[in-house]
């Protein structure tokens, strides 16, 4: 029979509102974090990154916040637009490794 | 200025067949990473290769999966005797040097493997 897969958590926001996407990471030794955007049928696209010696970093319309005490990462998108609709993943990296550990993702839906 | 090129974009194989996925890195990049993504999940690291060397294969299944990055030509991810559970999107990323900052690794558009 057909297996039932996990469904991504979904955040629905109105165009023009701010969006906040949250992520809990797993490894307290992780010292580098990235947010990726993935549109349907495409590969991950880098949005913004942050090192563990920072707690906030801003880009164009996006801000990443890092709370190492509770191992929590958030992505804030200002004035959300329809083009922001996608699945967003956080990823962590630690030590001398080159591999990224991805979170499970959040689907952002923007409605008019 | 081509990015990471993966082909085919879609691949259908019957159970027991072999699947070969190709990844051409960004020109000048000598480091390649393969990730697997199941539906509705995040990407899972599989293997990291430099030209002619496997650096980290800690995410590769012990059997049926292999990867290479020859001196000339694309990186190949090979899956022998495919099973339905191998159905997934396989992504490749490349970087110029060891990705001190992983954001320097660019992802391709992926190969979607369907095993029937």
Residue B40: predicted pLDDT: 83
Q: Which residues of B58-80 are buried (b: 16+ CB within 10 A; e: fewer)?
A: ebbeeeebebbbeeeebbbbebe
As given in the structure block, the two tokens for residue B110 are: 């992926």
Residue B99 confidence (pLDDT) above 60 = no
Q: Is A33 on the interface with B (CB under 8 A)?
A: no
What's the half-sphere exposure (Cβ side, CA atoms, 13 Å) at B90? 32
Q: Is B97 on the interface with A (CB under 8 A)?
A: no
Mean of the per-residue pLDDT values of chain B: 91
Quick check: B102 and A43 CB within 8 A? no
Residue B96: predicted pLDDT: 78
Q: Shortest Cα distance from A87 to chain B (angstroms)?
A: 9
- Can you tell me the distance from the alpha carbon of B69 to that of B75, in angstroms, rounded to the nearest whole number? 4
Interior angle at CA B31, CA B27 and CA B35, nearest 5 = 110
Sheet containing B75-79, strands listed edge to edge, beginning at the edge strand earlier in sequence: B5-7, B19-24, B75-79, B65-68
Residue B1 confidence (pLDDT) above 70 = no
Residue A108: predicted pLDDT: 97
Residue A4 confidence (pLDDT) above 50 = no
Quick check: A99 and B91 CB within 8 A? no
Quick check: A43 and B99 CB within 8 A? no
């Amino acid at each position: 029979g057909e297996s039932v897969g996990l469904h991504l958590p979904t955040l629905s926001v109105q165009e023009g509102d701010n969006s906040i996407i949250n992520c809990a990471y797993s490894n307290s030794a992780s010292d580098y974090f990235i947010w990726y955007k993935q549109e349907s049928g495409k590969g991950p696209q880098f949005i913004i990154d942050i090192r563990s010696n920072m707690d906030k970093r801003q880009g164009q319309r996006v801000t990443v916040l890092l709370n190492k005490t509770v191992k929590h990462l958030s992505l804030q998108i200002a004035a959300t637009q329809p083009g922001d609709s996608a699945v967003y993943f956080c990823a962590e990296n630690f030590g001398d490794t080159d591999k990224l550990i991805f979170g499970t993702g959040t689907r952002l839906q923007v409605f008019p | 200025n081509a990015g990471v090129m993966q082909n085919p974009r879609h691949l259908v194989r019957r159970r027991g067949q072999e699947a070969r996925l190709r990844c051409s890195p960004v020109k000048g990049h000598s480091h390649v990473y393969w990730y697997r993504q199941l539906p509705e999940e995040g990407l899972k690291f599989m293997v990291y290769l430099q030209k002619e060397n496997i650096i980290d294969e800690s995410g590769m299944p012990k059997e049926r999966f292999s990867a290479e990055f020859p001196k000339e030509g694309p990186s190949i991810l090979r899956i022998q005797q495919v099973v339905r559970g191998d159905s997934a999107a396989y992504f490749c990323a490349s970087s110029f040097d060891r990705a001190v900052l992983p954001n320097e690794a660019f992802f391709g558009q992926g190969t979607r493997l369907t095993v029937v």
